[in-house]
Amino acid sequence: MSDFFHDGSRRFQDRFETRQLAERTVELIVSDVISEADQRFIEQQNMFFLATVDPQGRPNCSYKGGSAGLVRVLDETTIAFPLYDGNGMYLSAGNVLANPHVSLLFMDFQRQARLRLNGEASIQDDDALRELWPEAELVVRVKLREMFPNCPRYIHKMALVEESPFVPKQGCDTPPPAWKSLEAVADVLPPKDAHLAGRDQDAAAALNRD
């Protein structure tokens, strides 16, 4: 992995005298395959952070949440995850179509562990894997470039209080988000959500909370 670092990284490695440490770290922890232990860790998580890049090279970071099994490991170099109903902007999905390079950060706050995965993403219409996740609109597949764990010392230990009631589940009606009932968006809701317009005008306070 001789191209793992670029001139910017090297500049700071030389300034702080960590070039050799950086090289050794790559040798020890960076991998281009997903091990069985990595698969277990990934598939146990119920959330992750997704970084994408637009055509101008500007990054966008998004939180993706669901139930355990949100991300599935398909083979030793491929993962997949769903994109659920959102605010209609499709920033992450749109960026994938424009620039396939993505980065995922998995965080386990209870065990204070994290894992970074970088690769190239793709989205196919009517991906057969959609059936794995109730109400999934799209499925993103990522071909691994490299992955590695990070030191856990700065991870705050937190416990899950409860799972969001908005996470889609098989055989269970998912409640609509309150912001879809706001007058401000009533005339621009997609057809599938038109019936929600004006449902609850007291929902304005939930717009930034949803």
Per DSSP (E only), the strands in 94-161 are 101-108, 113-123, 138-149
Residue 202 pLDDT greater than 80, yes or no: no
Residue 3: band (very low, low, confident or very high) from pLDDT cuts 50, 70, 90: confident
Instruction: Give pTM, 2 decimals.
Output: 0.91
What is the average pLDDT value for the chain, to the nearest integer? 93
Residue 208 pLDDT greater than 90, yes or no: no
Matching residue, tokens 């860790």: 41
Instruction: Please state, for a pLDDT cut of 90, what percent of the chain lies above it.
Output: 89
Angle (CA) 38-123-103 rounded to 5° is 40
C-alpha torsion sign, points 41, 46, 95, 121? positive
Distances (CA, A) of 77 to 31, 46, 84, 97, 100: 10, 20, 24, 20, 16
Give the Cα separation of 194 and 181 in Å (integer). Answer: 9
Q: What pLDDT does residue 78 have?
A: 98
Residue 1 pLDDT greater than 50, yes or no: no
Give the Cα separation of 106 and 110 in Å (integer). Answer: 12
Residue 2 pLDDT greater than 70, yes or no: no
Give the Cα separation of 51 and 46 in Å (integer). Answer: 17
- Digit-coded pLDDT (tens) for 146-167: 999 999 999 999 999 999 999 9
In one letter, which amino acid is 27? E
Residues near 145 by beta carbon (within 8 Å), at least 6 away in sequence: 32, 118, 119, 120
Give the Cα separation of 30 and 18 in Å (integer). Answer: 17
Whether residue 111 contacts residue 124, with contact meaning beta carbons closer than 8 Å, is answered with: no
Domains for the chain: give ranges and CATH numbers: 1-29 (no CATH), 31-149 (2.30.110.10), 176-210 (no CATH)
Structural Rg of the chain based on CA atoms = 20
Q: At what angle do helices 7-15 and 19-29 cross, to 10 degrees?
A: 120
For residue 106, give the nearest of 145, 134, 64 by alpha carbon. Answer: 64
Q: What pLDDT does residue 206 have?
A: 52
- Digit-coded pLDDT (tens) for 91-123: 999 999 999 999 999 999 999 999 999 999 999
